[in-house]
Structure 1
Amino acid sequence: MNKRILLPLLVLVIGGFAVYGLMTGRPVPEPIDSPAGPATAVDVFIATPESVRLTVSSQGTIRPHRAIDIVAQVGGKVDSVSDVYLNGDFFTEGQQLLRIEDADFRFAVIRAESIVAEAKELLATIKGQALQAKREWRDLGNEDANALFLKKPQLRAAEARVAAAKSDLSQAKLSLQRTVIRAPFDGRIEETLVNLGQYVAPGAAIAKIYATDKVEVRLPLTDRQIALLDLPLRYQNSEAALSPTKVELSADFGGQRWQWQGYIKRTSASIDVQNRVLYALAEIDLPFAKDESNRRPPLTVGQFVEAKIEGRELDNILLLPRKALQPGNLLWLVDADDKLQSLPIELIKSTRQQVAVRAEVAGEVRVLVSALDYYVVGLQVAPKAINQPQSLNSATVLTDTNAPVLAADPQAEEVIGE
């Protein structure tokens, strides 16, 4: 073989073996465990699932349960007024409020009585004539008598004239009675519209009044709030009794906070098209009665009140600080090994301070309330409890006294059930 070819080939073979030896014979580095960093310190809230009864906040203005205008049914000059015929005064059912001058109506009664007497006299005369005609016809020996001869049409006309005269007399007496205007129910005068010596025409309003047996307040509710309540929603084809929903009303008066107990017995017939809310109508019985146990003032029509509506009882609920809720409706729990675990939940209610969530957990859990730069399942943390375990029961109520639902802004309290 030619040395020019053999020598380069030999060099390549030797070089190849040398490279292979260097590659396979170098020492392999052994892995060294790096020291673990300190666990992230976090705050946790200890919570236990309970059965809780939530409340919904709303507010509204007191208005009469029944309000009407008293209207004069006859015309005339106001002859006298009652001592209670004053703005803001109270009256009882059947009490006289004012009287219209009745001289003309008494004269009308006398004239009507005279017409009745004349009609009765004419009827008696025609009855006598009819009896006499019947005798004369019988003496003629003919059984078929002529109705006109027997005065039957005249008799019917006379009887109708008596009935009409009596009707006119009843109308005159009724008009005389209507000169005295009485209260149709126990109530209060909101505004007087006429006074002593003034002439009123038939159909003219003389006063605005309202009943005092109860008052009501319209409480705006969103559909998300309604989902938390057992409202007495009516069905057309149902005669079942509706259970009223309790509501506590409160208002400030004289530098103090006062409460009244009411009940929601019905709702409005339609949803408000402007703000998309349904109004619950709460009734308060005897709002003007004096409470002997304290110096609580009476409710006043037009007064602004705040309401706490009792909701339905919900099971398996966690009550947590608002900062425990993480984006995506998630809770982050710290397990027994102090590692993070994610928990999907159903957000039931949220206020500025608290949230109520439904979650499938068994027993006590530790809920992360600290903000982290990132959240990773299995992240090692060093938890610190910021509270003692909750001890709740079925009477637990979540309220938000700082965020009532405004009539103009029914979303002020955030209740999430979508």
Structure 2
Amino acid sequence: MPLFNRQGKITIAVLVVGILFIVAVATLKPKPEKVKRLPPPLLLVEVIDTAPQTLRPTIASQGTVAPRREIDLVSQVSGKVIDVNQRYANGSFFRQGDTLIQLESSDYKFAVIRAKAQLAKAKEQVALEKGRSRQAKREWRDLGDTTANELFLRAPQLASAQAALESARADLDKANLDLSRTSIAIPFQGRIRQTFVDLGQFITPGTRIAKIYSTDVVEVRLPLNDRQTALIDLPVNFENTQSANYPEVVLRRQVGGKTYKWQGKIVRTEASIDIQSRMTYAVAEVQNPFKTDPNSDRPPLSIGLFVEAEIAGRPMTNAQQLPKNIVYRGNEVLVLNENDEVSFKTLSVVQSTADSLITNSIESGTRIVGTRIALPVPGMRVDTGSANLNSTQLKSPLSNSADLL
């Protein structure tokens, strides 16, 4: 028993000491200092200080090059083809007045000779009737009568002879015209698209000789929707072509890895809006498309070539161009108030491209957030820093085209 009491006392003492140690450690432990939590940093953004100005937009379209004038050259007389021009072949160029086909002309020469004989005979008959008429007048005068009968004076016979003379002259002109038509010539400078006859072939009136087109001017039909049409001064009214102001257009085509350009003008629109697509087709003309430039390797603007077009629009006042990446939901941007708090502003979009848009609903001095914010919340504050952009510093994706206009 005394031993047990002694061990119990030791155990109790150890427990007391342990408890006191734990209490002392908990009591004497230094308390953590309270640190004031800083607010999260504001998002740093660029700011666009708007300054609306007069801009001239460029409208994009595309089309296929086509000749302005293309015809089927046909024969007006019949005959055997006895000679063809060396340039009478698909793709050959020719000058105005060049003879492509020569028909056998012997029959037409004989017709000219016969017509000349008939003309001489008709002249003789007129001379005879004039003489007989004068003789009849003298005889009637000798009879002492003042009123003469038209038949007695041979007036109808003279009129008939004169009509026969005019007919003989017309027959001679017709024979000479048919003879000249045995040489089939080109009415304008151009190129042969396709030939249909060849040497030794007999042709009749109306036979197709060749399909040809002019090379002095080519056309490109450019489709435009309603919004694009409103941006261009299209020549849709009847006016003097000498004083008309035709919109400039630049045609582009990539050939062999290089981009080539041709300058042209919108000269007219088609007579009506296309009822299927509801598009307005503007017609651009390019002068001398096959003319070579000794200082350039630019190829000719060949028929059938697909090209992209950039049309100069009408000048727009109070316009502002903005990059497309800062636009939300197609027509909204973030603007800043005096406390650098953001809010959405709806724009009136005049023109939109892949990289930018033009609006005329921004007042001068409006500060627009020029940095894309992933999840913008109206009223949130941002840090504008000093990264302010003037609207004139924004690069226009159409600047290269504008330099050409």
TM, length-normalised to structure 2: 0.82
Amino acid at match of 2:199: L
In structure 2, the residue matched to 1:285 is 287
User: Distance between the aligned counterparts of 2:137 and 2:82, measured in 1?
Assistant: 56
Deviation at 1:174, TM superposition (A): 0.7
In structure 2, the residue matched to 1:122 is 125
Is 1:178 the counterpart of 2:181? The answer is yes
Q: After TM superposition, list the pairs within 5 Å mapping 1:11-410 onto structure 2.
A: 37-41=39-43, 43-49=45-51, 50-235=53-238, 239=240, 241-327=243-329, 329-363=331-365, 365-367=367-369, 369-373=371-375, 375-376=377-378, 378-383=379-384, 388-391=389-392, 398-399=397-398
User: Distance between the aligned counterparts of 1:177 and 1:306, measured in 2?
Assistant: 46
User: Distance between the aligned counterparts of 1:397 and 1:52, measured in 2?
Assistant: 11
Amino acid at match of 2:382: V
- Structure 1 vs Structure 2: percent identity of aligned residues? 42
Cα pair distance change 1:320/1:47, threshold 3 Å? farther
Contact 2:320 2:362 (8 Å CA) reproduced: no
User: Distance between the aligned counterparts of 1:83 and 1:386, measured in 2?
Assistant: 71
Instruction: Please list the CA deviations of residues 343-383 of structure 1 after superposition, one character each: whole Å capped at 9, or x if unmatched.
Output: 3321122222222222333236242543354522x322234
User: Distance between the aligned counterparts of 1:295 and 1:315, measured in 2?
Assistant: 39
Contact 1:246 1:264 (8 Å CA) reproduced: yes
Deviation at 1:53, TM superposition (A): 1.8
Contact 1:45 1:320 (8 Å CA) reproduced: no
Deviation at 1:39, TM superposition (A): 5.0
Cα pair distance change 1:67/1:351, threshold 3 Å? same
Deviation at 1:142, TM superposition (A): 2.4
Deviation at 1:40, TM superposition (A): 4.6
Contact 1:52 1:315 (8 Å CA) reproduced: yes
User: Distance between the aligned counterparts of 2:107 and 2:166, measured in 1?
Assistant: 23
User: Distance between the aligned counterparts of 2:76 and 2:50, measured in 1?
Assistant: 68
Contact 1:56 1:399 (8 Å CA) reproduced: no
Deviation at 1:109, TM superposition (A): 0.6
Cα pair distance change 1:187/1:143, threshold 3 Å? same
Instruction: Please list the CA deviations of residues 148-170 of structure 1 after superposition, one character each: whole Å capped at 9, or x if unmatched.
Output: 22221111111111111111111
User: Distance between the aligned counterparts of 1:231 and 1:163, measured in 2?
Assistant: 53
Instruction: Please list the CA deviations of residues 66-87 of structure 1 after superposition, one character each: whole Å capped at 9, or x if unmatched.
Output: 1111111111111211122221
Contact 1:54 1:397 (8 Å CA) reproduced: no
Contact 1:325 1:331 (8 Å CA) reproduced: yes
User: Distance between the aligned counterparts of 1:129 and 1:257, measured in 2?
Assistant: 84
Deviation at 1:214, TM superposition (A): 0.8
Cα pair distance change 1:103/1:45, threshold 3 Å? farther
Tell me the C-alpha RMSD between the 2 structures.
2.5
Q: Which secondary structure does the structure 2 equivalent of 1:275 belong to?
A: coil
User: Distance between the aligned counterparts of 2:122 and 2:231, measured in 1?
Assistant: 72
Q: Which secondary structure does the structure 2 equivalent of 1:226 belong to?
A: helix
User: Distance between the aligned counterparts of 2:364 and 2:37, measured in 1?
Assistant: 36
Deviation at 1:98, TM superposition (A): 1.4
Instruction: Please list the CA deviations of residues 172-204 of structure 1 after superposition, one character each: whole Å capped at 9, or x if unmatched.
Output: 111111111111111111111111111111122
Task: Tell me whether 147-156 or 257-266 shows the greater mean CA deviation.
Answer: 147-156
User: Distance between the aligned counterparts of 1:95 and 1:125, measured in 2?
Assistant: 46
In structure 1, the residue matched to 2:20 is none
Contact 2:50 2:368 (8 Å CA) reproduced: no
User: Distance between the aligned counterparts of 2:143 and 2:317, measured in 1?
Assistant: 102
TM, length-normalised to structure 1: 0.80
In structure 1, the residue matched to 2:403 is none
Contact 2:224 2:279 (8 Å CA) reproduced: yes
Deviation at 1:125, TM superposition (A): 1.9
In structure 2, the residue matched to 1:9 is none
User: Distance between the aligned counterparts of 2:370 and 2:254, measured in 1?
Assistant: 39
User: Distance between the aligned counterparts of 2:209 and 2:174, measured in 1?
Assistant: 22
Q: Which secondary structure does the structure 2 equivalent of 1:391 belong to?
A: helix
Cα pair distance change 1:142/1:57, threshold 3 Å? same
User: Distance between the aligned counterparts of 1:249 and 1:169, measured in 2?
Assistant: 53
Q: Which secondary structure does the structure 2 equivalent of 1:312 belong to?
A: coil
Query: Which stretches in structure 2 are left out of the alignment for 5+ residues?
Result: 1-35, 401-405
Q: Which secondary structure does the structure 2 equivalent of 1:153 belong to?
A: helix
Task: Say which one has the larger Rg.
Answer: 2
Residues paired across the two proteins, number: 363
